[in-house]
């Protein structure tokens, strides 16, 4: 029988542009390996001070809309106290207060229980850090 708790780190090349990276297939592949078709919870965590995890629709413009909304809320200009890195980088450090660095999602029968149009995504506005780690942790129910 598989372990009740299993974890794995994804290495994501988010590049040098603001991006939303769909992690849904990576999450499903992880669950296929470790869940044993059990119910439980999947926690997705990005251990970075300038990135977040969102559950959103992708591919129909919603990912671009989210980036546009973040630009409106958190402009990349010189207003920020945190000033190292590229211009406006201080806003990247505020991002996790709006898009949290984690999500915990239900797993039923070894599969993510997502809505029809929902995807698990890394939200990365930090152009200074092209590589990200994302920790996937599955906790099986008893």
Report pLDDT digits (tens) over 46-86: 999 999 999 999 988 999 999 999 999 999 888 888 878 78
Question: What phi, psi does 126 have (nearest 5°)?
Answer: -85, 105
pLDDT higher than 70, residue 2: no
* 126 alpha carbon, distance to own chain's centre: 13
Report pLDDT digits (tens) over 28-41: 999 999 999 999 99
**pLDDT score recorded for residue 103:** 98
Report pLDDT digits (tens) over 93-115: 999 999 999 999 999 999 999 99
Q: How is domain 5-140 classified at the CATH fold level? A: Jelly Rolls (2.60.120)
Q: Comparing C-alpha atoms, which of 21, 29, 31, 30 is closest to residue 120?
A: 21
Residue 116 burial by Cβ neighbours in a 10 Å radius (0-12, 13-18, 19+): exposed
| Residue 8 token pair | 């794995």
Domain boundaries, the chain: 5-140
- DSSP code at position 40: E
């Amino acid at each position: 029988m598989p372990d009740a708790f299993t974890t794995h780190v994804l290495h994501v090349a988010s590049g040098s542009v603001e991006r939303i990276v769909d992690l849904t297939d990576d999450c499903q592949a992880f669950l296929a390996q470790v869940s044993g078709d059990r119910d439980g919870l999947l926690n997705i965590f990005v251990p970075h001070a300038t990135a977040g995890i969102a559950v959103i629709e992708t591919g129909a413009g919603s990912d671009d809309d989210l980036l546009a909304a973040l630009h409106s809320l958190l402009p990349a200009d010189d207003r920020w106290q945190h000033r190292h890195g590229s211009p406006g980088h201080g806003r990247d450090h505020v991002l996790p207060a709006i898009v949290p660095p984690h999500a915990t999602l239900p797993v039923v029968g070894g599969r993510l229980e997502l809505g029809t149009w929902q995807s698990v995504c890394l939200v990365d506005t930090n152009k200074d850090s092209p590589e990200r780690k994302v920790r996937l942790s599955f906790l099986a129910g008893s």
